[in-house]
A and B are shown apart, each in its own frame.
Chain A
Amino acid sequence: MSRVTTDAERNAIQQAFRQKLDEDELLNCMRCGFCLPACPTYIMTKQEAASPRGRIALMKGVYDGTIAYDDDIGRQLDLCLGCRACETACPSGVKYGHLLENARSAINENKRKTLKEKAIRKLTFKDLFPNQKRMRQVTGLVRLYQKSGLKKLAEATGAINILPETLRTMQSILPEIPDAKAMRERPVHLAPIFVDQPSAAETATTHANIATNEEAPINHNAENPVKRVAFFAGCLMDTMFLKTNEATLKLLQLSGCEIFIPPDQACCGALHGHSGEAAGARELAKRNIEAFEKLDCDTIVTNAGGCGAYLIDYAHLLADDPEWSERAARFSSCIKDLSEVLLECGFLEKYHLSLPNQVVTFQDSCHLRNVMQTATAPRRLLQAIDGITYRELREADVCCGSAGIYNLLHEDMATGLIDRKMGHVKNIMPHVIVTANPGCLLQMKFGIKRHGLESKMEAVHIADLLLKSVSGC
């Protein structure tokens, strides 16, 4: 818990609000309230102050100087999931996400933190996420924990119970971490695969070949790909969810894409941006823009809604930087979700997708839906799979409570949201809950476990399910 704000900090925060917040955007909110029913924290609390309209009024209050910043206001802004469902609901087009991010950064930069908070922030934002090598090392530790028997020991002895419930369950649902070598040796370029040519079809079946395709004899017209794309790997996706990244690449290859994966790409910076660490986020943004612009691809594919949405926001993040604004805007305009790219490349026309009979549903990733505006593409892909019965989940567009690391910081709200979600899930009892973002995937797994439904259903990333449906196994 952070310290109580002092008077000097209050003033500095108010000044920072005036500098950072866009007055037009604050005024743009005409307080119609259309966003209230879409807001998860309002749904859960029924408190005006916990609604988008309320939070904008709080920000405007501080901006105008009609009220002084206080810790209640800080807490209320923290309680926001940043899911941006309010933006999709807002007919006035208020860019709430930008207001929130700027307000958080104004607070973060002007409020002294406890030593502990400082240390955690430094570790997370300076040492860990910007550094893919460290990410691999830390994820490697989790692997060690899983493989060494420590996990079993911790669970058997009850030592695990010192963790809060969310963390405790989280550690039990993490996917099996790939080994260090696999995480280190990532491909940088992949040629398309055309299955009508038998040799290619064979190579298409094993994951191991993906990394070596580059050297494999390319007899599938690599000169003439359906599309040249760049792939944004993502720090969590390229470590903990490596298998999903491999499936993603394979799907892109199968739809005829030539793929470039710049090795010098960095973490997207979303975690920084959402936590008020704007400077760190900007650094990462620049690194990514540099890494991708030299490829000269007009499509950059992501398979994590959270990252994709943040990459799209680079245009906003660097809008005031004359050297970078144009480059950022160009970069942002290239970002597309896997599902959209697959449809564009005619994936559905190329393959007959099938799976054993089962009920499937889709839980939207908030940022995929509300920022990348991708909601129908994943559903279209799923509905095209023979053998599945697609059932729409009630409130699929409401946040599951994952929201980056929100579930660890605001356990009550996050748990309330996942319980509500699982209530809707139980009404349709799917065999598979499909997601399109690692955070959502973990949170849905968490929900399944928390509600004792492990034997009835599983949560998977859309790329994994789609790849499975190509081979029909």
Chain B
Amino acid sequence: MPGENTTTFQIEQLGDTTNGQPNNYMSIRLKNTSLAVASAIRRTILADVPTLAVDDVIIQENTSPIDDEILALRLGLIPLASGALADNMNRLKFTWDCDCSSGCEKCRYIFTVDQESNTLEPLSVTQDHFQSGDAGNSPDIDPKPFPVAPRVLRWREGVDCHEPAVSEGPIVITKLGKKQRLKLTCYARKGTGKLHAKWIPASNIALRRVPVIKLNPETLTDVVRQCPEQLEAYAELCPRDVFTCSIGEGIEVTDEAACIFCMNCLADLPDARLNNLVSVDMSTTEFILDIEGTGALTPDQMVQMAIRIMHEKTNAIKTDLLVRLGRQERHDSPDPDEMNDYGDGLDEAW
């Protein structure tokens, strides 16, 4: 049946796009697919989706209290807007793929920072002080970093909690005391999460199977008849409030998706009569993928790019297989590095 075996996506939740910031959170439900495909998307986003990040820092002057190495790491970890790579991943090349010998506008992007404090108040040098300069950067990418609001989870109302402190401001690189100066040049390059975590576009990806929770009607009837007073306590066993208990009616599954598979509702029950009241299973065809971005790419860009990369990789295998079977000429150079030449016209995959 057409469509039966086609993976479908359903966007469950999308991050805020207010304040002019791109959304950095998305939850999607994959249907009609296998774990292999779903897991591959997750793994590809983490390992192979390229982004930009500061890779080399040349420090001309650093009289700040922070050592050079620490500064360089901090700079590297600032998410750079890599949206330009989303539509064409080759807009910037990997250094090792580029024809140049020591960097050119096709394979790197240069920022400079030059700040000096003249006041007693410490001066915060932040990502806002990045200057793109005239250093021969490619004009069609603008990886200027921007602040990303972290996703705030409020776990429970009415519990003695600290209000999560959401840092609104730009990312601070260092603070300068009076007469201290920071002058440096950063080389941002394309890279993948395989090489260093700073190129991972997602700060959090969770892939889980969709829970399937079923009440056993016979046991339920028995329980309602024999020990209805147990049901409320039973519903309380679930930390995610999957069940709702209504007096007299018994119990029902109201928030199936919230289940965290803790199995509290199955094991070590207070009353043996509650055994087998519910069954908790995981779907083998339906998955939920939660993606939270760093700000380098939006979650949908990540998924698109991941799929393109996967497609390219499977295509490469296909081509190789055909060549080996003698059904096709290898038209390009068989250089495996060219694997990343994703090409155009693959958009039908999306």
Do A and B pair up? The answer is: no
**Which residues of A approach B to under 8 Å, CB–CB?**
none
